[in-house]
Structure formats: structure tokens, C-alpha cells
Amino acid sequence: MPGPERPPKKPSRRIAVANQKGGVGKTTTAINLATALATTKRVLLLDLDPQGNASTGLGLPRADRGAGSYAMLVEGRPLSTLLVPTKVPGLDVLTADNNLAGAEIELVDMADRERRLKDALTKEPEVVARYDYVLMDCPPSLGLLTLNALVAAQSVLVPLQTEFFALEGISQMTRTVDRVRRALNPDLSLDGIVLTMFDRRNNLSEMVARDVRAFFKDRVFETVVPRSVRVSEAPSHGLPVLLYDVKSPGAQAYIQLAAELLRRDRARAKATAA
């Protein structure tokens, strides 16, 4: 006998974690947001940075990483054959390795070079549908890898380090998102700036946070990620800070950030249903 009818599963939400600047907390945010979300959701993290820091930070040594995003984007191997489970229950990853650096160049001559990721996800809808969230950790540039993420995503999350040039950096990011929305992906929205490495003792941190909020209003998450030494130690143990030291202020911030993201997504779903 068939069981009670279940409502069809909501399509997975695809979020690119991007900022053309390096060292602003993209990978840290991708890993820890993914881990926090995985306590209640099924999550897939796509490592799109040739540095492979998200893969390393999740405890996947290069030796047992296998083929990853390079094989999918350049060689056209199916995503389903490349996924790797992590120590975090509910979190799978598509790994990255140095060979991905070549993809920026090899993709240039390919047809639909900016849609390779989107096409790969579209080709296996049943695989993608296993996940409630697909997060993409982008490299620190606005090259083809980041472009592929922006074309495949519905939303961009921009980690922003609270420092002097923060606003300048974010305006380049918003222009890029606008351009991609107009030319390649009308669904794309910038809905989330996350202030990272916030230092409460530093007046500049406060000032930058105020300016960013004055300009971007509710597109800035209320949750602020503090600078915390436990956050920077965790990757060398191959662990998200949530598993390394869940009581630390950094881990707690990412738990709050995940809760805020889920709240925002529920509010958005309600608004579009109404």
C-alpha cells in the first residue's frame, strides 16, 4: 500500500560563496555554514578553488580526494561519480585539487564555458535533489570558475572582512552580480553579506560594519562572525570549527548564521507563495 502522500521536495537552494578578494573568509564560511546547515538539512559543498582549502578543511587529504570539480567541469564526468562523504553527517563534497587551476585556461575554448557547472547539475536532477542546500566555495578571482558558480547559483553570499577597503571590494562584487544577472542568470540575487573576522576592540571594524549596513541594509546578515583563534586552528585538524570547538565564539556565530539563513529562506518562500 502506498504511504501517505508526501509534499514534493522543495528544489535545492544553490548558493555561491564569492568575493574576488582572498583571505576574507569564503572557505571558512562555506565549510562552517555547510556543517551547521547539515545538522537539519542535506548539504553538498562544491569546492571550486584550485587551492582546495574547503576539501582540506573538511579533512580530505589530497591522496584520497579522487577526481573532483576538475573532472566534472573539464572532462564532463558526472557529479554522481565524484561526490565524497565527509565526517560531518549529512554533508557531501565535490573536492578540488591543484589541477583545477588549469580549468580557468582549458575552459576558455569550450562551448558554454560559463555554463559547465549549471549543465552538470541540470544533467543529474535526481542527484542534486538529494540535497536541500548546494554551497559553492569560489576562488579569489572573478574568472571562469567563479562565473560558473554565479551562473549555477540562485543566490550569492559575500563574506566581507571588516577592514578599510571593504566597501570598495564589495562594489566590484555587486557590479559583477548585476552583470551576470542581466546577461546569463536572471534568477541570481545578492542576498547576503556576512561580516567576518570582526574585532570588537577595533573601532575600524565597528565603522566598516556601520557603513556596510547603512548602504546594503537588510542584505547584510545580522549575525557577525568574530575573529577567533579557534576558527583559524580548526582547518589544520581537518575539522570544521563546529566539530573542533563548538563552544568557541566562531562556531557559535556560524550556528547562528545558519539559523538566520534558514529563517530568511522560509520568509522568502512565504513571500513568493503569497
Residues that bind Mg ion (CB under 5 A): 26-27, 53
DSSP the chain: ---PPPPPPPPPEEEEE--SSSSSSHHHHHHHHHHHHTTTS-EEEEE--TT-HHHHHTT--GGG--S-HHHHHTS---GGGT-EE-SSTTEEEE---GGGGGHHHHGGGSTTTTSHHHHHHHH-HHHHTT-SEEEEE--SSSSHHHHHHHHH-SEEEEEEE-STTHHHHHHHHHHHHHHHHHHT-TT-EEEEEEEEEE-TT-HHHHHHHHHHHHHHGGGEEEEEEEP-HHHHHGGGGTS-HHHH-TTSHHHHHHHHHHHHHHHHHHHHHHHHH-
Q: How far is the CB of 24 from ligand ADP (least distance, A)?
A: 4
Considering only residues 174 to 203 of the shown chain, the ones binding ligand ADP according to CB under 6 A are 196-197
The region of 18-26, 98-106, 184-192, 204-212 touching ligand ADP under the rule CB under 6 A is: 18-26
Q: In the complex with Mg ion, which residue's Cβ is closer, 51 or 252?
A: 51
Min CB(127)–ligand ADP separation in Å: 26
Q: Which is nearer to ligand ADP, 103 or 234 (CB)?
A: 234
The reply to whether 59 sits near ligand ADP by the rule CB under 6 A is no
Residue 24 interaction partner, one of ligand ADP, Mg ion, none, beta carbon < 5-8 Å per kind: ligand ADP
Stretch 136-165 residues interacting with ligand ADP (CB under 6 A): 140
C-beta of 42 vs 227, nearer to ligand ADP: 227
Q: Residues touching ligand ADP: how many (CB under 6 A)? A: 18
Q: Is 22 in the site for ligand ADP (CB under 6 A)?
A: yes
- State the binding partner of 68 from ligand ADP, Mg ion, none, CB within 5 to 8 A by kind: none
User: Which of residues 115 and 141 has its CB atom nearest to Mg ion in the complex?
Assistant: 141
The residues of the shown chain that bind ligand ADP, judged by CB under 6 A, are 22-28, 53, 140, 196-197, 225, 227-228, 231-232, 235, 250
